[in-house]
Structure 1
Amino acid sequence: MQIPPASVSGINGFNSAQSGLTQATIDVARSEPAQQSAELKAEAPDKTDALVKATQSVNQAEASAEVIETADETIGTIIDIKV
């Protein structure tokens, strides 16, 4: 099993966070019809849940940015030591 570089993991995490935030934004913005059948209400996303997922996605993006920054600093340190 090959372990990907930290920068790739950070970018993948950032992309995942972006997708999650996009979906949460769509769920929050989705309008609810005035009258819904019980079946449609079960399928409609909960706005509170969508807002929590949006916050989680923002936190994931911030953590992924830290991973990318740390990987960059580590590579810089390794290059400085080797030179």
Structure 2
Amino acid sequence: MQISSAFAAGMQGLQAAQSGLTQATVDVAQASVQPTSASSAENSSNAVAAVGNRPDTTSALVSAMVSERQGEASVDVLQRASDTLGSIIDIEV
């Protein structure tokens, strides 16, 4: 079993937070796009299907907030790892 360092865990957390925030912003953008006006029944059914496939704005915003908190926690992990390493080698980082 391999245990990763605190720096690696912090960086992985930051990357996951960035990825999650990117996806959440894409979801919000897709949810805010208005469907094109449909003039026929076929276009109307396509517009309804497109609306059904769009992500929910509320859940996308919640995901963005979760990613923000994950990023903050990862920064805290990196800061504490840096402080710990500085105290171990008796250097103020």
TMscore range, shorter length: 0.7 to 0.9
Cα shift at 1:80: 1.2
Identity of aligned residues (%): 49
Cα shift at 1:32: 3.5
* 1:25 corresponds to: 25
* 2:80 corresponds to: 70
* 1:15 corresponds to: 15
Structure 2 CA distance for aligned equivalents of residues 17 and 42 of structure 1: 27
**Deviations 1:51-74 (Å, cap 9, x if unpaired)?**
000000000000000000000000
Structure 2 residue 13 is the aligned partner of structure 1 residue 3: no
SS in 1 for 2:34: coil
> Aligned ranges for residues 49-68 of structure 1 at < 5 Å?
49-68=59-78
TM (norm. structure 1) is 0.87
Instruction: Give the number of the structure with larger relative contact order, counting CA–CA contacts within 8 Å between residues 6 or more apart.
Output: 1
Conserved? CA contact 2:35–2:51, under 8 Å: no
Amino acid at match of 1:32: Q
CA RMSD, 1 decimal: 1.6
Cα shift at 1:29: 1.1
Max Rg structure: 2
